[in-house]
Amino acid sequence: MKVSERLHQAANEIWESYYHHPFVDGIAHGTLPVENFQFYMIQDHLYLMQYAKVFALGVIKAQNESDMRVFSGLIQDTLNTENAVHQSYLKKLGISREQIDHAKMSLLNESYTNYMISVSFKEGLAELAAAVLACSWSYKLIGDYMETIPGSRDHEFYGHWIQTYTSQAFRDSNDVMIDLVDRLTVNYTEEQLKRLEDIVIACSRYEDGFWDMAWNMSM
């Protein structure tokens, strides 16, 4: 079993629970109140700015040019592919650049991103990669799930969001992260593998909390 498969197995029950979360289900069926989505988009934008910094730490920690290029590419994917949909929705929702610049992170968001950055500072490249894998892989799976719902991709408002996370560009970026984890964990000990599981499960639980936060619009 590949290390990525082991991590998927460890977190899959949590990831699959997202499909039935009222926030995710609301996007999938086009019933989510716009005010909840607006709250989410602001918090998710703030999250992505910290997410990109984790990849920047990967560039710093990388021991060869090849890995530096991988992490650099992931920064670009985050800022260009994912952030593009945020900018589009923020414009539709009438949220100004000034509002974004002065927006405050929720407690859950700050805790989650601080956890990822802490792991990335203190531990190795594989642990850093594991810390961001839960977000990327679970969003890919959410996209796969939403594609099974007739008309979801064509919804007049939420369709653009769904199209982003079902796009080949996003799937390719997620595959890069999966391959990176497998490559960086060659010859890892059982103790090290268990640590990776702990990181992925912790971040998956934070993801679950993020959906709760967005649904309840809690700071």
Q: How large is the angle between the packed helices 22-29 and 125-147, nearest 10 degrees?
A: 50
Measure CA of the first residue to CA of the last residue in the chain; give whole Å: 40
**What CA–CA distance (Å, rounded) separates 140 from 144?**
6
Choosing from 82, 127, 203, 207, which is the catalytic residue? 207
Closest by CA position to 137, among listed 62, 199, 90? 199
Q: Exposed (0-12), middle (13-18) or buried (19+): which is 96, by Cβ within 10 Å?
A: exposed
For tokens 């592919």, the residue is 81
207 has catalytic annotation: yes
Choosing from 82, 127, 135, 203, which is the catalytic residue? 135
HSE-CB at 23 with a 13 A cutoff on CA atoms is 20
Spell out the residues 6+ positions from residue 132 whose beta carbon is closer than 8 angstroms to its own.
Answer: 51, 54, 55, 116, 177, 203
- Catalogue the active-site residues: 135, 207
